[in-house]
Structure 1
């Protein structure tokens, strides 16, 4: 039986965004985006200069203007060390204020950050650094020079090189452009209904070297919110943070909900619950809704190759569509590939403004992973008539 590619329209009743229009190349794209991530962040810095941008467990924090000034000095130091436009710079700081400063500093220098996972051993880290062609490693004391801010780049230019394992466990660099990140940030902010009133997003055990966690951080900053970074999974330590957004892995949230101490954790002030994964069971979804009844629950699915997003489960569908990772949003479209694609079963394909440019230094692998504009995720999925996706 021959394989076929069958497109599945998403449900128009959820996450509608009129800013997304079909471009001449046939792909849905956002209109009116800033040309680069640095320009978007620059707007936020000037609009929310005095607000706290990032805060750590121990209370250390930086306002938007302080963060920008520190990053600009790092950028100046990088330029003095010879970093040129488009150079890759490995970021191997701990997941805290220093990581955020380093990341933005590389951007302001016109470089391309390469996040190094703390889970990698020395040999793997050295391989990533060599494969990416990183000219410098930020893993301790930051370079400090005369403040420097690059004018920015075009939407199609590389802004992040993120390494992720393939099916065999081998790492490969995923090229993400300004448009990829900017579109994903816009889609996440819109789907959640984030406002610019000054939300506080508690990121539990963030993995900022991954694009999914990075999008969580950036989506908070661009609306003038505060990213609260904590390495603790103990619910008791979350109290007193004033968080109105709780971002954590599904397993962490379920464990928190099973802990009676969580019931009183800003239960009435928590406005959003954000998590990523392959879906919750109906019992788990009910448990989270009972524990945090006044919060909107946002389950997002994505791969590094889709900029960490692309599918989301509407809050009102958490129980009725338990186990699903939701529907396409933010310009993402889905299709199935295989002999049973027309019957709603096959390999999941995606296309949209968040889909990567390709794999770093691997043109032959990139070519094999695309059918036209459709990216082959490698995941087997079922899609129902309303466009809800379930990863098998």
Structure 2
């Protein structure tokens, strides 16, 4: 390690390892006929993937894409997803993975915000974009569809090969560790998503963090990290999230491992794939882990190749590590991070996790954490406060949002929005949440976004959204709606209204309708906590919700 100035911040960085993501792409050719990506019976080798990436990279330059241009990716976890991503970052473009669960309205907002020169999208996403109405917009490249987009990816790849683009090498483009590489959108407290801009160094910092965690766990088991076998990873989380892209796709690609992608999450199908494809590791949100354990027990299928299960993206119940260890007899891990920390900021696994199952672990060597009070002063060991994070993994800021960047990052320290406690050994425990956000099965839902959508209905006078505990999902979304006089508004109408405006996972699962005003304090501020407590007390005692 060394200490250097990165984007005006003095941080520790790794001396060895790739400096840009291009080095990972170049290494892919050396893995030849080894399977890179398996998807529902389709298999893509490293040699095939590398050839497609090279062809597409050359085509992007011929199409006029320049360093810093944005290239959108809006599709399922098809084999084309990593091909497009790696090709874009290899020519200096900024890859913008768009949430495939968004509505057309949400997709349109992100595209208008980051102004990509082109968007690679599958049929469903192209259809949603068309539903927003006519407009110039970026060039659309269809994936697994014919005649829907302006161009088709397969035609581009074939024409590139037939038209003379047969170079086995990537084009030479001047890039460095601080070159922008990605924009991942994260929901904002204003109700509008913000694009977190990550550099090549940011993303590669996560690669080092994953390697460090694996090596540390191996040493604690008495094994040599150099002898660790290549992983075959079950990819069940979306690549448009940093967990899927940074923590699963990137390290697996860099190590020459196999990615086994699912069309959609189904725990029994996951058990089948793990057994058939000889999967060695799986990482998902805690809900998925628990469902996988239930399915394995229900089906009675032995999984001898599976050696590791990790969780992230949402709080993991302590019972999870105990179940993984007792039921499967394998190692479990947990991690904490966010889009703005390029995924992993803190991690734990093996004996450390078993000893402290309520923790999220410790930061890697180049990352610092501290706990501060409301004034930004560091609190004592064992005292609670907001967790702040600093290191080469912290993004440079939000796309075209200087004020939001200044609010989120202070002198290189990223404000997590979570309340934590750090003990004398540096182990972090997350104890509460500051931000008005619901994490449902690993997906962030900002309450104001849902409330804004509700207020667009003419029959809604007042609305409040909040999270309530759920055994599997961590949280589920509840709303209390005060209806306007003269409107006969029902639960189904609310669900339909929100579903037309926001992604399906943001549609509330508990809806309480009332006619009385919501409680407010003397200054008129809504007492959201009071409303939430009424709901929880009523459900615990078997009573009715507020205004029911």
TM-score bin (small chain) = 0.7 to 0.9
User: How many residues end up aligned between the 2 structures?
Assistant: 368
Cα deviation, residue 169, structure 1: 4.1
Residue 106 of structure 2 corresponds to residue 85 of structure 1: no
Match of 1:119 among 101, 107, 123: 101
**Cα distance change of structure 1 residues 384 and 217 upon mapping to structure 2, 3 Å threshold:** same
Aligned 8 A contact 2:24 2:253 in 1: no
Post-superposition CA distance 1:314-355 (Å, at most 9, x none): 321334322221111141110111158225211110001111
CA distance in 2: counterparts of 1:111 and 1:23, whole angstroms = 25
Match of 2:343 among 295, 308, 311: 308
The SS at the match of 1:46 is helix
CA distance in 2: counterparts of 1:225 and 1:61, whole angstroms = 13
Asked which structure has the greater CA Rg, the reply is 2
The SS at the match of 2:426 is coil
CA distance in 1: counterparts of 2:65 and 2:313, whole angstroms = 37
Which residue pairs with 1:207 in the alignment? 238
Aligned 8 A contact 1:276 1:299 in 2: yes
- Aligned pairs (5 A) from 1:41-60: 41-43=25-27, 45-58=28-41, 60=42
**Cα distance change of structure 1 residues 185 and 311 upon mapping to structure 2, 3 Å threshold:** same
Q: TM-score, normalised by structure 2?
A: 0.64
**Cα distance change of structure 1 residues 369 and 234 upon mapping to structure 2, 3 Å threshold:** closer
The SS at the match of 1:84 is coil
CA distance in 2: counterparts of 1:265 and 1:248, whole angstroms = 20
The SS at the match of 2:395 is coil
CA distance in 2: counterparts of 1:35 and 1:227, whole angstroms = 23
**Cα distance change of structure 1 residues 150 and 364 upon mapping to structure 2, 3 Å threshold:** farther
The SS at the match of 1:310 is strand
CA distance in 2: counterparts of 1:321 and 1:198, whole angstroms = 28
Aligned 8 A contact 1:263 1:291 in 2: no
**More relative contact order in 1 or in 2 (CA 8 Å, sep 6+)?**
1
CA distance in 2: counterparts of 1:289 and 1:150, whole angstroms = 47
Which residue pairs with 1:341 in the alignment? 379
Post-superposition CA distance 1:159-202 (Å, at most 9, x none): 11111112344200111111111121122023123767432111
**Cα distance change of structure 1 residues 162 and 176 upon mapping to structure 2, 3 Å threshold:** same
**Cα distance change of structure 1 residues 374 and 62 upon mapping to structure 2, 3 Å threshold:** same
**Cα distance change of structure 1 residues 274 and 262 upon mapping to structure 2, 3 Å threshold:** farther
**Cα distance change of structure 1 residues 380 and 219 upon mapping to structure 2, 3 Å threshold:** same
Post-superposition CA distance 1:23-77 (Å, at most 9, x none): 366412111232210122212x13312211111122x111111101112222233
The SS at the match of 2:344 is coil
Residue 290 of structure 2 corresponds to residue 237 of structure 1: no
CA distance in 1: counterparts of 2:290 and 2:357, whole angstroms = 14
CA distance in 2: counterparts of 1:147 and 1:262, whole angstroms = 48
Cα deviation, residue 290, structure 1: 1.2
Residue 289 of structure 2 corresponds to residue 253 of structure 1: yes
Which residue pairs with 2:531 in the alignment? none
Which residue pairs with 1:357 in the alignment? 396
Match of 2:14 among 23, 30, 35: 30
Cα deviation, residue 220, structure 1: 0.5
CA distance in 1: counterparts of 2:266 and 2:172, whole angstroms = 40
Aligned 8 A contact 2:233 2:280 in 1: yes
Cα deviation, residue 213, structure 1: 0.8
Residue 110 of structure 2 corresponds to residue 128 of structure 1: yes
Cα deviation, residue 313, structure 1: 1.8
**Cα distance change of structure 1 residues 168 and 380 upon mapping to structure 2, 3 Å threshold:** farther
Which residue pairs with 2:419 in the alignment? 380
**Cα distance change of structure 1 residues 278 and 319 upon mapping to structure 2, 3 Å threshold:** farther
Residue 160 of structure 2 corresponds to residue 160 of structure 1: no
Q: List gaps (5 residues or longer) in structure 1.
A: 1-19
Aligned 8 A contact 1:369 1:376 in 2: yes
Residue 255 of structure 2 corresponds to residue 223 of structure 1: yes
Cα deviation, residue 312, structure 1: 0.6
Match of 1:107 among 89, 93, 99: 89
CA distance in 2: counterparts of 1:198 and 1:389, whole angstroms = 30
Aligned 8 A contact 1:262 1:291 in 2: no
**Cα distance change of structure 1 residues 320 and 197 upon mapping to structure 2, 3 Å threshold:** closer
Aligned 8 A contact 2:285 2:314 in 1: no
Match of 1:264 among 289, 298, 301: 301
Aligned 8 A contact 2:232 2:279 in 1: yes
